[in-house]
A and B are shown apart, each in its own frame.
Chain A
Amino acid sequence: MTRLSTKHLLGIKQMTKEDIELIFATADNFKQVINRPIKKVPSLRDITIANLFFENSTRTKLSFEIAEKRLSADVINFSASGSSVKKGETLIDTVNNILAMKVDMVVMRHANPGAALFLSKHVDAKIINAGDGAHEHPTQALLDAFSIREKLGEVKGKKVAIIGDILHSRVAISNIFCLQKLGAEVMVCGPRTLMPKYIGGLGVKVEYDLQKALEWCDAVNMLRIQLERQSIKYFPSLREYSMQYGLDKKRLDSLGKKIVVMHPGPINRGVEITSDVADSEQSVILDQVENGVAIRMAVLYLLAGRVDN
């Protein structure tokens, strides 16, 4: 297979296992490219990409921008603060105005679930979802699975636990879809108040005891507590959360096996994960960041599409 089955990257849910494997195989090559003395290839030199970030982002935006530049694409950046969005312009108007400037691809983050899908139906450009509310964050899931594959050899048959705020996490949803498509077993673990009601329908194991989840898994993905999305108090205090669901060195060392520790960033050091765990040799947090660039290059490259269609 040499082509993705989808025209846009809206979510992992719409992708096939073969799509994901094609992205991984392409990312392998790009990872090699970004580790060379000259890290740039001319593949997308005739493509213009708009990064539309209607919601704050540092890492994802930077990662996409580097990926685009390493592929020699022309890049324009847009963020909601300081734009006409604040003056009441609608999403479609904003995007159509940008497309009128002849943009080929749009990378978008938006606070509303489904924003990327909505856009893909109304504008004539390739859309890449860089996070839509609490719905999906496909490139994060791809880079997480890619990092597991790199560290553990393959994803199939591996046990992955996702810990923390599952309710507000698009990373968790995309990760669950991606890992399941690749044949991994997935467990989610967190306080009952942060567990979505629909979780039973996703075919994952649910656990409320962190110790049990850690003993079960080969790799653990520690999610960030998203205080900015929590309108009410879901747990009494950060300190209590940290005591029950935080990963520290003592807990990690007590397991009798070396599990892979991941975190999508940004880390709240001392809340979901302590500094010594984040910086330990079991942590692949910085590998995830490096892989993020390779994965995003692969996605952009594969979606750039053909000139004749």
Chain B
Amino acid sequence: MSPSPRIILDGKQLGIIIQRLCHQLIETHDHFHSSVIIGLQPRGVFLARRIHHQLCEITGNKDIAYGDLDVTFYRDDFRRKDLVPNKTNINFIIEDKKVVLIDDVLFTGRTIRAGLDAMMAFGRPADVELLVLIDRRYSRNVPIQAKYIGKTIDSVSSEKVKVDWTETDGEDKVWILTTEKNEDTQK
């Protein structure tokens, strides 16, 4: 019934996009002396770690601050679906820092809204920017936009965008599949 999942980005294309995003970040943040990278759990952290790793290599600054942020306790759909918390690992204060918030897919924007709240537990940042690999426009529930975008796609809500990473899924790729009724993501 449903069309077979189609791949929209393969590993090579993904690599080029990540490279570009890194250079865009460097344009704004220079050597990242007063900037920090924060990846959103559970799926944004893989992209964030890649970007952090490449930024360290390109800029030569090995001490770019990096943290994982879990937003479960800040979500607005708690008590409406089953949510499993993940680890938050931020061992620095973001007071007066420029924060680059990273997630894999921007869809309704609700995860990012929760992320903005969750982040405030670590201080008041000077500036917050959002970087996403995939921007599914036309699906936003809240007024949130990304500053850095890997690829913008137009998709209907019955479709699901999935980003696979070598670390967890064996290979890097982005694909679209049609969901019937099985909502198994937090997106």
A-to-B contact residues, CB < 8 Å? 2-3, 25-26, 29, 32-33, 36-38, 40-43, 301, 304-308
Contact = CB atoms under 8 A, between A and B. Distances in A.
Contacts of A301: 73
Contacts of A29: 70, 72-73, 85-88
B122 interface: yes
A198 B80 CA distance: 44
Interface in B55-74: 70, 72-74
Contact of A308 (B73, B80, B93): B80
Given A2-B84, A26-B85, A37 B74 contact: no
Contact of B79 (A2, A41, A305): A305
A111 B122 CA distance: 43
Main secondary structure of the interface of B (DSSP, over half): loop
B82 interface: yes
Contacts of B122: 36-38
B80 A37 contact: no
Instruction: For the complex of A and B, list the 9 residue pairs with the smallest distance between their C-beta atoms, beginning with the closest.
Output: A41-B73, A2-B82, A38-B121, A29-B85, A43-B73, A307-B79, A306-B79, A2-B84, A36-B121
A60 to B, nearest CB: 23
Nearest to A43: B73
Main secondary structure of the interface of A (DSSP, over half): loop
B142 interface: no
A43 B88 contact: no
B82 A3 contact: yes
B156 interface: no
B123 interface: yes
B126 interface: no
A36 B122 CA distance: 8
10 contacts: A25-B85, A29-B87, A33-B121, A36-B121, A37-B123, A41-B73, A41-B121, A42-B117, A43-B78, A305-B79
Contact of B120 (A25, A26, A38): A38
Interface residues of B, number: 20
Given A32-B87, A36-B121, A41 B82 contact: no
B83 interface: yes
Contact of B73 (A37, A42, A307): A42
Interface of B: 70, 72-74, 78-80, 82-88, 93, 117, 120-123
Contacts of A40: 121
Q: Which of A38, A41, A305 has the most CB of B within 10 A?
A: A41
Nearest to A301: B73
B83 A2 contact: yes
Nearest to A307: B79
B67 to A, nearest CB: 12
A236 B57 CA distance: 74
A242 to B, nearest CB: 44
B74 A41 contact: yes
A248 B74 CA distance: 46
Nearest to B76: A42
A10 B180 CA distance: 39
A36 B79 CA distance: 24
A33 B73 contact: yes
Contacts of A3: 82
A306 B78 CA distance: 8
Q: Which of B73, B82, B84 has the most CB of A within 10 A?
A: B73
A304 B79 contact: yes
A217 to B, nearest CB: 32
A26 B72 CA distance: 11
Given A2-B82, A33-B121, 20 more contacts: A29-B73, A29-B85, A29-B86, A32-B87, A32-B88, A36-B121, A37-B93, A37-B122, A37-B123, A38-B121, A38-B122, A41-B74, A42-B73, A42-B117, A43-B74, A301-B73, A304-B78, A304-B79, A306-B79, A307-B79
A58 B110 CA distance: 40
Contacts of A38: 120-122
